[in-house]
């Protein structure tokens, strides 16, 4: 279907692609992998008509093409499911599926009944858990993606591109997306799937292409290649992807939370963190984990409850209070909440600790440059010109900057909300190592994650949340089954009962 050969694309001085090559056949699921900033999104935006290439060959079904906009790509049967939904939130599912292509009556009125019926047919045929009349703004991220998929099907697309679709989805939603991808393949469509989560995708992918520094360095069947080999292609060096943390005797209690309640999302939450500890926080999407982080950090007010830091009761009414008390929050939605996307990377890195780069009210550019160089090296942040806005970085690199900025500050209690979402495998190991280092320097860390394997790997103990409450606590070396039991059922006892049935 698609042949890309030697595709080039630069943004000002930044070379995003120097030799992007890729071939996709009908009826295959093709994984596209590579480190953050390798050029994956850029290459796919070229295929989907959102960007024009500077050079190279692009063949669509054997013919040379060049799309000037997404509509042209759509007319050829190419659609892209974006991570950031591009839907109209206040419209219904059906209206979004038909946006701009509504069926009309002879006088030009939109034929609502036909539109609803047609949308319902698509939904039913693919067994999407949606209703044609539902308003899109009420849907979960997965639901929104399904609407985008419906739209692509309605357009009669034969190639569907997914850009990291599961990075913001729950386990169940992820499985649902996988089921749909398989169904698309059975209909002989082509699917390109960008991901950082190889092990999950192995089951549904047929072939894989790896980009490194804007260049295709490998392409071949998935069955013949190990995860280690793919990682080596991605980073161009050996990488020890197995992280283990040497246990550390926990120190004094740094944070104690008692009876924290915020109706209806948090209900009587009690736990504590000790110096040197990394405590995992598991739970299903919507269990209240992000809400807990926000309440602790003073973003959302609490109805009642007590927060003690080093034994002293503190009132945290705003993020400023939280920072003063030594808290740091690395939010889940880093692009929007963790970064000043219009400002250059060095500003973003040093904004949580201006003392480190100021003297007598003046900004020391040398210190700023040194810090920027150090962090971009350690986390392998692919930056381009240092003065360009942080919003221009690739998705994963923006995440790394948002994390790095807190590592520099003076915080002692770190709330990491889904810290590895969207970042590549090398950076993941670096983030774990940084967390370990912080713990060794006496920090206490709460790490919210939906990836159970990761919690088991990193955390000293794991708290599980369900419906706004802490439903259980487990040792670090536990099993995903044990976590799921607390995440999905109220108590261990009822979980056992459920399992017995
Ligand atoms: N509009 C833009 N302006 C300037 N530079 C850009 C722009 N879009 C992308 N880049 C740069 O091009 C390079 C490739 O970015 P791209 O978004 O394709 O990476 P990616 O492989 O999708 O990474 P990730 O895994 O982080 O999503 C990066 O260095 C990025 O900073
Ligand atoms: Mg990307």
DSSP 355-423: GGTEETTEE-HHHHHHHHHHHHHHTT---SSTTSBGGGS-HHHHHHHHHHHHHSS--SEEEEESTTTT-
What pLDDT score does 132 carry? 94
pLDDT at 494 over 50: no
Report all structural domains of the chain as residue ranges with CATH numbers, in order of start: 2-235 (3.40.50.300), 253-326+411-500 (3.40.50.300)
With a 6 Å cutoff on the Cβ, whether 379 touches ligand 1 is no
Ligand 1 touching residue 14 (CB < 6 A): yes
Give the mean model confidence (pLDDT) for residues 465-488.
Answer: 90
* Residue minimizing CA distance to atom 27 of ligand 1: 395
Cβ proximity of 58 and 254 under 8 Å: no
Ligand 2 center to residue 163 CA distance, Å?
7
Q: What is the pLDDT of residue 76?
A: 94
At residue 239, the pLDDT reads: 62
Query: 42 CB under 6 A from ligand 1?
Result: yes
Q: What pLDDT is recorded for position 337?
A: 66
For the chain, what percent of residues have pLDDT higher than 70?
Answer: 93
Range 129-148 average pLDDT: 87
Cα of 28 vs centre of ligand 2, distance in Å, is 21
User: How do residues 376-426 score in pLDDT, each as one tens digit?
Assistant: 887 778 877 778 888 888 877 887 888 888 877 778 999 999 888 878 888
Q: Is 280 in the pocket of ligand 1 (CB under 6 A)?
A: no
- Span 420-437, average pLDDT: 84
For the cut 90, the answer to whether the pLDDT of residue 207 exceeds it is yes
- What ligand has the least distance to the C-alpha of 380? 1
What is the pLDDT at residue 127?
Answer: 86
Q: What is the pLDDT of residue 84?
A: 62
Ligand 1 atom 18: residue of nearest CA = 39
Looking at per-residue pLDDT, the higher value among 6 and 232 belongs to: 6
Say if residue 362's pLDDT is above 90: no
Q: Pairing state of beta strands 469-475 and 14-24? A: unpaired
User: Could you tell me if the CB of 34 is within 6 A of ligand 1?
Assistant: yes
* Any ligand 1 atom below 6 A from CB of 419: no
**Ligand 1 atom, smallest distance to 44 CA:** 18
pLDDT-derived band at 135 (thresholds 50, 70, 90) equals very high
Q: Whose CA is nearest to atom 13 of ligand 1?
A: 16
Are 209 and 40 contacting, i.e. CB atoms less than 8 angstroms apart? no
Ligand 1 close to Cβ of residue 396 (< 6 A)? yes
- Say how many Å lie between the CA of residue 155 and the centre of ligand 2: 24
> Which ligand has the nearest atom to the CA of 44?
1
Whose CA is closest to atom 6 on ligand 1? 392
Question: Cα(19)–Cα(381) distance, rounded to whole angstroms?
Answer: 21
pLDDT at 474: 95
Mean pLDDT of the chain: 87
* Per-range mean pLDDT, top range of 91-105, 165-179, 223-237, 370-384: 91-105
For ligand 1, the distance from its centroid to the CA atom of residue 391, given in whole angstroms, is 10
| CA 33–ligand 1 middle distance (angstroms) | 14
Cα separation, 355 vs 346, in Å, equals 14
Residue 297 has pLDDT above 70, yes or no: yes
User: With contact defined as beta carbons under 8 Å apart, do 429 and 201 qualify?
Assistant: no
Residue of minimum CA distance from atom 1 in ligand 1 = 392
More confident of the two residues 198 and 267: 267
Of 449, 24, 411, nearest to 216 (Cα)?
24
Atom of ligand 1 nearest to the CA of 9: 12
- Once rounded to an integer, what is the mean pLDDT over residues 428-456? 89
Q: What share of residues in the chain are helix, strand, coil (percent, to 5)?
A: 35, 25, 35
Residues with Cβ within 8 Å of residue 287, at least 6 apart in sequence: 465, 466, 467, 468, 487
Alpha-carbon separation of residue 220 from 31, 224, 323, 376 (angstroms): 10, 8, 49, 31
Look at residue 108 and tell me whether its pLDDT is greater than 60. Answer: yes
- Whether 353 shows a pLDDT value over 80: the answer reads no
Query: Sorting pLDDT into bands at 50, 70 and 90, what band is 495?
Result: very low
Q: Taking 70 as the threshold, does the pLDDT of residue 238 lie above it?
A: no
The ligand with the least distance to the CA atom of 393 is: 1
pLDDT band at 159 (very low <50, low <70, confident <90, very high): very high
CA of 347 to the centre of ligand 2 (A): 23
Instruction: Please check the confidence at residue 497 and state whether its pLDDT lies above 50.
Output: no
Q: Is the pLDDT of residue 313 over 50?
A: yes
Residue 212, ligand 1, Cβ within 6 A: no
Ligand nearest to the CA of 196: 1
* pTM, two decimal places: 0.75
Q: Is 392 in the pocket of ligand 1 (CB under 6 A)?
A: yes
Sequence length of the chain is 501
CB of 421 sitting under 6 A from ligand 1: no
Q: What's the pLDDT band for 489 if we cut at 50, 70, 90?
A: confident
Average of pLDDT values for 231-260?
A: 83
The β-bridge relationship of strands 207-212 and 29-34 is parallel
15, 19, 35, 41, best to mutate for ligand 1 pocket (most atoms within 8 Å of CB): 41
Atom of ligand 1 nearest to the CA of 38: 21
- Averaged over 250-273, what is the pLDDT? 95
Is 336's pLDDT higher than 70? no
Pocket-testing residue among 39, 167, 233, ligand 1, by greatest number of atoms within 8 A of Cβ: 39
**Is residue 83 lining ligand 1, measured as CB closer than 6 Å?**
no
Residues around the ion ligand 2 (C-beta < 5 A):
41, 394-395
Q: Which of 133, 112, 6, 91 has its CA nearest to residue 57?
A: 6
Asked which of 20-29, 116-125, 154-163, 226-235 is least confident by mean pLDDT, the reply is: 226-235
Please tell me the predicted confidence (pLDDT) of residue 83: 61
């Amino acid at each position: 279907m698609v042949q890309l050969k030697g595709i080039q694309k630069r943004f000002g001085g930044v070379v995003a692609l120097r030799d992007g090559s890729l071939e996709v056949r009908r009826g295959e699921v093709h994984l596209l992998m590579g480190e953050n900033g390798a050029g994956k999104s850029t290459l796919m935006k070229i295929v989907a008509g959102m960007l024009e290439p500077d050079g190279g060959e692009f063949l669509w079904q054997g013919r040379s093409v060049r799309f000037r906009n997404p509509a042209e790509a759509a007319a050829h049967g190419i659609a892209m499911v974006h991570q950031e939904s591009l839907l109209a939130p206040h419209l219904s599912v059906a209206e979004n599926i038909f946006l701009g292509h509504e069926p009309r009556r002879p006088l030009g009125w939109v034929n609502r009944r036909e539109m609803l019926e047609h949308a319902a047919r698509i939904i039913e045929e693919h067994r999407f858990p949606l209703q044609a009349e539902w308003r899109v703004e009420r849907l979960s991220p997965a639901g929104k993606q399904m609407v985008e998929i419906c739209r692509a099907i309605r357009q009669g697309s034969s190639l569907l591109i997914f850009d990291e679709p599961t990075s913001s989805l729950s386990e169940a939603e992820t499985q649902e997306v996988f089921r749909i991808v398989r169904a698309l393949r059975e209909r002989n469509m082509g699917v390109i799937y960008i991901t950082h989560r190889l092990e999950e995708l192995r089951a549904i992918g047929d072939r894989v292409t790896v980009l490194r520094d804007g260049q295709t360095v490998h392409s071949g069947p998935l069955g013949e290649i190990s995860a280690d080999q793919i990682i080596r292609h991605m980073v161009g060096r050996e990488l020890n992807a197995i992280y283990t943390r040497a246990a550390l005797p926990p120190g004094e209690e740094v944070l104690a939370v008692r009876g924290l309640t915020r109706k209806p999302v948090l209900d009587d939450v009690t736990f504590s963190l000790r110096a040197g500890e990394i405590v995992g926080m598991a739970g299903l999407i919507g269990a209240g984990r992000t809400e807990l982080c926000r309440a602790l950090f003073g973003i959302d007010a609490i109805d009642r409850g007590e927060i003690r830091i080093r034994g002293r009761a503190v009132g945290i009414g705003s993020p400023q209070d939280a920072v003063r008390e030594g808290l740091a929050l690395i939010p889940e939605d880093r692009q929007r909440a963790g970064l000043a996307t219009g400002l250059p990377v060095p500003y973003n890195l040093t904004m949580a600790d201006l003392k480190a780069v100021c003297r007598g009210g003046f900004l020391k550019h040398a210190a700023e440059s040194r810090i920027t160089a150090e962090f971009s090296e350690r986390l392998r942040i692919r930056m381009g010109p240092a003065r360009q806005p942080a919003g221009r970085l690739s998705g994963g690199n923006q995440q790394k900057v948002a994390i790095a900025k807190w590592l520099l500050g003076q915080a002692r209690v770190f709330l990491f909300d889904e810290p590895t979402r969207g970042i590549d495998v090398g950076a993941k190991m670096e983030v774990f190592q940084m967390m370990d280092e912080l713990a060794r320097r006496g920090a206490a860390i709460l790490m919210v994650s939906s990836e159970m394997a990761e919690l088991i790997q990193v955390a000293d103990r794991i708290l599980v949340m369900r419906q706004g409450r802490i439903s259980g606590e487990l040792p670090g070396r536990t099993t995903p089954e044990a976590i799921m039991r607390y995440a999905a059922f109220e108590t261990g006892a009822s979980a056992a009962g459920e399992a017995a049935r």
